[in-house]
Structure formats: C-alpha cells, structure tokens
Amino acid sequence: LFQGTPPERIAAIRQELQAKNWHLTPKEQRDDLLAEWLPEHERYYPLFSDFRFGGYRVLIDLIADIDDDNNRTDRKRLIRDGDSPEFMRLMEAYLNKSVNVYYRDAVAGECRKLIEAVMKPDEAVRYIVALGKRKVLFDLLLDRIEKHVRREK
C-alpha cells in the first residue's frame, strides 16, 4: 500500500497523525485530513475513517510500523558493531533528534557533552585551534571563543 512512499513522507504523516489526534477526529473532518495526507489512496478512505470497527487503527498501525522499520534500517546503516561508544552516542543524537532540531545542532550538543566529560571547554578551544579545526569551534564552543581571541590595541 505504501511501498512507493518515501520514508520522510511516512515520518511526516506519522507526526501529523499524532499532532492532530487522528483517533479523536470528528467524522466530518476525517476525509479532509485523509485527502491532505494520502490523496493517492482515496479508495481506502472508508476503511481508514471507519471508527466503529477500528479502521482508524489500521492507518495508525500501518504508518507506525513502516516508520519504525525505516528507522531501524537507518540505524543499521549508521551504527555498526565496530564503532566506538562515542561515535555511537553521536549517531544516536542524530537519529533521535526531534524534527524541529537541525541535525548539526543535535550532534554538536552531544559532542560538546563528550568533550566536557574529558576536559574543560576552555582547554578544548586551545586544542581545537592547535589542530587547525577552527570551523569546529563555531559549532561546538561558540560561547567560549571570545575569551581566547587576541585583540589589537
């Protein structure tokens, strides 16, 4: 039924189902929401909007199962057995980020936690500059840069 549907669209439909409380949708609004989310599956509207016999659950369960399967596939592709625990934490931050968070911000936040577990942020600034990775500072330690900038008088 949803074989040609991209994973991003499945995830978006799932979020919409949850955000708009599909299971509580009034009868007169069900077809409108289905037309908005699934215009290509019009012939299944009667099944999906049949709240008397659990038809609404069919839609929720299908979308949730497909989205979960897509997420497991992504997880297997990104996290492997030989990866370090730190790298796994960064990948988990990427995979578990909320929709409204940019992926770089999610990973940078977790990376900052890893850095702070090993050393003080001010010390990390010096090491990162010494490694020639100044662009990384703006993602990870932006609040600590000004303290280390040389000013001409």
| Domain definitions of the chain by residue range | 7-78, 85-148
Cβ(89)–Cβ(110) below 8 Å: yes
Mean pLDDT of 41-55: 83
Mean pLDDT of 122-145: 90
Mean pLDDT of 47-55: 79
Q: Per the structure block, which two tokens stand in for 14? A: 């799932």
Question: Is the pTM value of this prediction over 0.85?
Answer: no
C-alpha closest to that of 12 among 48, 46, 36, 47: 36
Gap between the Cα atoms of 89 and 105, Å rounded: 14
Model confidence at 52: pLDDT above 80: no
Q: What is the pLDDT of residues 5-31, one digit of tens each?
A: 888 999 999 999 888 888 888 888 888
